[in-house]
Amino acid sequence: MGDQRDTLIFLDEIQAYPHLFTMLKFLREENRFRYIASGSQLGIALAQTPSIPIGSIEVRQMYPLDFEEFLWAVGTTEEWIEQIRMKFVSQESLSEEEHQMIMKRFRYYLLIGGLPEAVNRFLADRNMVRVRQTQSEIHNLYKLDASQYDSGRKLKIRKIYDLIPSTLENRKKRIIFKNIEDKKGKDFMDYADEFEYLANSGITLGVTAISNPVFPLIESEHKNLIKLYLNDVGILTQLLYGLNVNAVLDEQKSVNLGAVYESVVAQELHAHGFPLHYYDNKKKGEVDFLVDDYDRLSVLPIEVKSGKDYRIHTSLARFMGNADYDIQRAIVFCNDREVKKEDKVTYLPVYYCMFLLHPNEQQNEVILPPL
């Protein structure tokens, strides 16, 4: 028999047995086997378990496939992806042929998303009916799974979750609290637990408001102003367009893909370790996303545009023009092939969002100089 430390024990849906979290500490110290624990509601369990053995377990969050991983899945070579990455690093445009090739794959990603089962269904026979059925089944399971709450809370969670697609089509993109129960006078605190569940469960992406964009952004969060995105763009397009794939593939003028594009960028930022924030100011408007610019100790605003008027961004211009914020650069993701830079704003094709990496992903170690 081989070394017992080469034996891996896999504990699935561990959130159903929260006492096992504490046991993992002692099992690790025993050093007989290695353990992996997983669960669809692991984020909820970790948030609610007071006896997590810090230092004894390593937490890794799993996400739907991001766009780069989707490219791998559909057979795009790593060499070609690396060539595109180098163009992004040097702020160069792709050729027209390359641009059209990757935009076709990007539009497919908007339809299929990154849920492994949906991607596998697509790869099996390219039948979008089966892909949409899979997405619908998963979407319904997400709504049903709130087992630790009573029936009243479950209904509120489902209502908030159901409101997300239509809310993303609005200008403000925030859940209107009175729409949850059709009652006036409600505010965030009336639904704080439900919003926390939706974020911690991983089925939505919560984006918190920032009114004073100063590095680091965590110091200026407003938890009571939150936008929610679905965790997978394929589920969103299934809900919005169903089997009308041409709404996405043909870029029909009557269809505004703004919310869909924003959802992809939110997924990419989240999967790469960026906390999600947006700028909200009653007088100066909103900016889609804000991330910490660690290199400049500043804030990096990101706007997402799906139409041809991507250079029109009044709120971003006002934001950039505020000297108190000391914003040194901004990114606008759009459909255009060419990389352009005008003043402090860089216009990038939307697929380049897959290369935005948090500093924690870029560096293996940071060594301090001697004292």
Tokens of 115: 């849920």
Same domain for 83 and 37? no
61 found inside a domain:
no
Q: How far apart are CA 223 and CA 209, in angstroms?
A: 7
Average pLDDT, the chain: 86
Residues 133 and 193 in one domain: yes
Residue 54 resides in a domain: no
- Residues 308 and 246: their CA atoms lie apart, in Å, by 19
Compute the C-alpha angle 236/182/230, nearest 5°.
15
> Which of 192-201, 258-267, 321-330 is modeled with the greatest confidence?
258-267
Q: Is the pLDDT higher at 294 or at 59?
A: 294
- Taking alpha carbons only, the member of 147, 238, 160 closest to residue 204 is 160
Indicate if 98 and 36 belong to the same structural domain: no
Residues 286 and 314 placed together within one structural domain of the fold: yes
Domain-located, residue 233: yes
Is the domain of 28 the same as that of 168? no
pLDDT band with cut points at 50, 70 and 90 for residue 3:
low
- 28 and 78 part of one domain: no
Please report which confidence band the pLDDT of residue 313 belongs to, taking 50, 70 and 90 as the band edges.
confident
Quick check: 1 pLDDT over 50? Answer: no
* pLDDT (tens digit per residue) in 211-230: 889 889 988 877 667 889 99
CA 293 to chain centre: 18
pLDDT tier at 54 (50, 70, 90 boundaries)? low
Token pair in block for residue 201:
């469960």
**Percent of the chain surpassing pLDDT 90:** 46
Distance CA 337, CA 12 (A): 44
Tell me: do 92 and 38 sit in the same domain: no
Q: Does the pLDDT value for residue 166 go beyond 80?
A: yes
Assess whether 22 and 160 both reside in one domain.
no
Question: Which residues span the domain enclosing 111?
Answer: 67-362
Per the structure, the count of domains in the chain is 2
Residue 56 lies in a domain: no
Alpha helices in the chain (DSSP H): 19-30, 42-48, 67-73, 78-89, 96-112, 116-125, 128-144, 151-168, 178-181, 192-200, 233-241, 246-249, 258-271, 314-320, 359-362
**Residue 22 placed within a domain:** yes
Is the domain of 196 the same as that of 319?
yes
Task: Establish if 58 belongs to a structural domain.
Answer: no
Both 86 and 141 in a single domain? yes
Residue 62 lies in a domain: no
Instruction: With a cut of 70, say whether residue 150 has pLDDT above it.
Output: no
Asked if the structure places residue 59 within a domain, the reply is no
315 against 66, higher pLDDT: 66
For residues 9 and 84, state if they share a domain: no
pLDDT, tens digit (0-9, with 9 covering 90-100), for 347-363: 999 999 999 988 777 66
| pTM for this entry | 0.89
Q: Do both 17 and 130 map to the same domain? A: no
Task: Please check the confidence at residue 282 and state whether its pLDDT lies above 80.
Answer: no
